[in-house]
Structure 1
């Protein structure tokens, strides 16, 4: 059975280390990774009516981020069945509960330490999950990022190629 897993992201290559830590330490099971960032729509009616996921993702996902996602899928092709990005658009407890239930997440992966980059419209979903109390919360897994792993790996080449992976692009 394929497990759907929420991975928090700020749409930088560096934030994909959370997914890597999870995949490297998890069992050999097939997963669908949903890279989720917090995005505050505001209260403008034009923003609410004109919101499209694809438009906002195109603004936030740069070429290096998309290449890094492809490399992760290639490296873990036996584990990662699907990998895509999404937004949580509210911190409201009811919204969060409905978001998790509606998308049928089996797990939420949270880093023990990570500093997300924020834009004016983004919010930290890790902080939100640490502070919200839900009765029907999926299993929460904490991955250790380690102090040494947090420094100097903010570019695509520094992040992946120094790991000496043998990659095939399919």
Structure 2
């Protein structure tokens, strides 16, 4: 089997945060990758949130229909190089947790976006980019910087803001 890189990309589950994924995939189309779109999530300490609500429940609440459609369009566009793509939650800021998460998930690379401000509407979501920068040495994975400074437009979170202005032939699969 061909060597596949597992790449973690921070997200806030907004459509515009998929610009990070697009920028990464457009510049690195020579290698097969598996993408993990992740954000930090504080699950709290109530017994209901610890035992009664699953990660899938939290993800279903965070992912909008447009975000899911955007992910499908990315999968369609890069189907030759994209082995898999899924969303996940990092539920702790602890360095041991991060190290074990990356080892268990077999993540080999982290994309660190520059020029993007994460802004989730959910109160439990936190930005993991600074956390990853701080602990990257302990985690033991390679970092890939992505600069979006000239591409950021505040307040835009719609699919047509960047998907439909490209000359892609995209189909939903």
TM (norm. structure 1) is 0.93
Structure 2 gaps, min length 5: none
1:143 is the counterpart of 2:146: yes
Moved over 4 A (4+): none
The size of the alignment, in residue pairs, is: 169
1:132 is the counterpart of 2:135: yes
Give 1 or 2: higher helix fraction.
Answer: 1
Structure 1 gaps, min length 5: none
> Which of 157, 163, 169 matches 1:154?
157
2:126, 2:52 → 1: CA distance? 20
Q: Which residue of 2 aligns with 1:120?
A: 123
Matches within 5 A, 1:86-101: 86-101=88-103
CA-based RMSD: 1.4
The structural deviation recorded for 1:133 is: 5.0
2:60, 2:141 → 1: CA distance? 29
SS in 1 for 2:89: strand
Moved more, 47-56 or 129-138: 129-138
The structural deviation recorded for 1:165 is: 1.0
Q: Is the 8 A contact 2:15 2:158 kept in 1?
A: yes
TM (norm. structure 2) is 0.92
